[in-house]
Structure 1
């Protein structure tokens, strides 16, 4: 039954039988047969389909919520039993928004010192993608904004506050200033993260609230791309203070506080709101709480 529920969750996410079969590592006839057997056992149609996926039925939408809960519980049970027998091991998948990437080692490094048999996969994703992947059981935890847009049913551990800096060359517009306002940065060409990133939405709102209209000269979903352009001395961007500190900015570049108003947003760990929690996630939450009590100052 569990494997058929996993088939169903993947079909619902991918909206394609062929892609779902590939991700599940089975043939399409095997996956289709599994979905049909699940429908037969429940006595309802779950998927509207002809030769291809169309949509979930109303019953299918409800079964999907149960399927996620059951599969998550089954995985947690297997992991806890394995941990009792072998100690903490396995894999932790963590997704982080681009501006929080430098925070990840502050969690993974002390965690691995305590639990050397745990392996990590770290992904970069938007805040919306992180919540979707948590819900679809694709990741175990995320690092994202906690206070700006709805999070849904997750557990959170606040880790640090995000403040913003103008990163530019000293001879560029505003480059000789000790501090700048959001109205001022809204009047110069900027390179910014893409609109699907929450950081971009925050920056745009702050500039608009100051009476400006952001018109980026360059967009990217990578902060490394933004930083590489600023390093040429011909571009400017807005990045979080802790991220700028980790990049070790040196002359002729300058990191200038943006004030009037000074904007602050909370970044933290998010994990599924499920009990019991798998041992690896419980250990990660414990490490995050320890980090929250003893934050790292300066480079992360």
Structure 2
């Protein structure tokens, strides 16, 4: 039944029979037959059918909750038995908000030094996407904000506080700037679906400023490349800004009135026990945390 539940989860995630079959490495008829067998075993209809996928039935939505729990537990059991025989190995999938990508290497490098057979996949995602990917069992852990939006029931490890800085060309350096003053500059900022951008919007609004960025992107590299032309400025957390200051071409100054901070940390499914690999990641995150 585990294989059928995994196919059902894939179908719920992809919302398309063909894409779900491709994700599972089976043909579409095989996946459709597995879903029908699962329905027969459970005695309920799970999927509204037509010429294409039309969604889950109410019973299917409830079974999906159980399927994620059962499949998650089965994966944990398999990982634990593999760790007993081979030590920690395998793939660790981590999704990270763009402004925290600068610190991921601190975490992955420490973990790999202890467990050299681990492999990592790190993707940049919005905070909302990270929570959805965790729920769908598509990632093992995320790094996101812990104190600005509801997270639900998750395992969390605080890592650091974001402090917000204005990044400008070096010849436009200053010692500090207020949120209201920053709003008057030709800004390039992260796109509105990013929680960092929503935080920036909140502080601009509180300062009575109307924010109208000249450019928006979901890539920090894109923002920095525009600032390097000499015609733009951006707002980034200090940990991220520091990556680009060594060349001397850019400068960063704190944004005041108020001096804002928001907590960023590791999030993982609340399931206990965690897989050995995930438990090792959580342990390293706790050692790395600079929050008392």
**Normalized against structure 1, the TM-score is what?**
0.95
Deviations 1:31-87 (A, max 9, x none): 110100000000000011112111111111100000000000000000000100111
Are 1:177 and 2:177 matched, yes or no? no
Q: What is the alpha-carbon distance in structure 1 between the residues aligned to residue 244 and residue 268 of structure 2?
A: 28
Name the residue aligned to 2:205: 208
Q: 1:99 is paired with a residue of what secondary structure?
A: helix
Deviations 1:218-252 (A, max 9, x none): 11110011011101111110000111112235444
Name the residue aligned to 1:275: 272
The answer for unaligned runs of 5 or more in structure 2 is none
Deviations 1:83-121 (A, max 9, x none): 001111111011111100011011011111100011111
Are 1:230 and 2:227 matched, yes or no? yes
Q: What is the alpha-carbon distance in structure 1 between the residues aligned to residue 15 and residue 49 of structure 2?
A: 10
Contact 2:159-2:289 at 8 Å conserved across structures: yes
Q: 1:54 is paired with a residue of what secondary structure?
A: coil
User: Any residues of structure 2 matched to 1:80-99 within 5 Å, and which?
Assistant: 80-99=80-99
Deviations 1:170-206 (A, max 9, x none): 45xxx34311001111122210011111101111111
Are 1:15 and 2:12 matched, yes or no? no
1:294: how far off?
8.6
Contact 2:166-2:252 at 8 Å conserved across structures: yes
Q: 1:293 to 1:225 in 2, by over 3 A?
A: closer
Q: What is the alpha-carbon distance in structure 1 between the residues aligned to residue 118 and residue 249 of structure 2?
A: 42
Q: What is the alpha-carbon distance in structure 2 between the residues aligned to residue 245 and residue 293 of structure 1?
A: 17
Name the residue aligned to 1:265: 262
Q: 1:48 is paired with a residue of what secondary structure?
A: coil
User: Any residues of structure 2 matched to 1:1-300 within 5 Å, and which?
Assistant: 1-171=1-171, 175-292=172-289
Q: 1:131 is paired with a residue of what secondary structure?
A: helix
Q: What is the alpha-carbon distance in structure 2 between the residues aligned to residue 40 and residue 189 of structure 1?
A: 61
Q: 2:268 is paired with a residue of what secondary structure?
A: strand
- How many residue pairs match? The answer is 292
1:169: how far off?
2.0
Q: 2:166 is paired with a residue of what secondary structure?
A: strand
Contact 2:188-2:234 at 8 Å conserved across structures: yes
Q: 1:234 to 1:61 in 2, by over 3 A?
A: same
Deviations 1:98-157 (A, max 9, x none): 100011011011111100011111111111111111111111111110000111121110
1:167: how far off?
0.6
Contact 1:183-1:211 at 8 Å conserved across structures: yes
**Normalized against structure 2, the TM-score is what?**
0.97
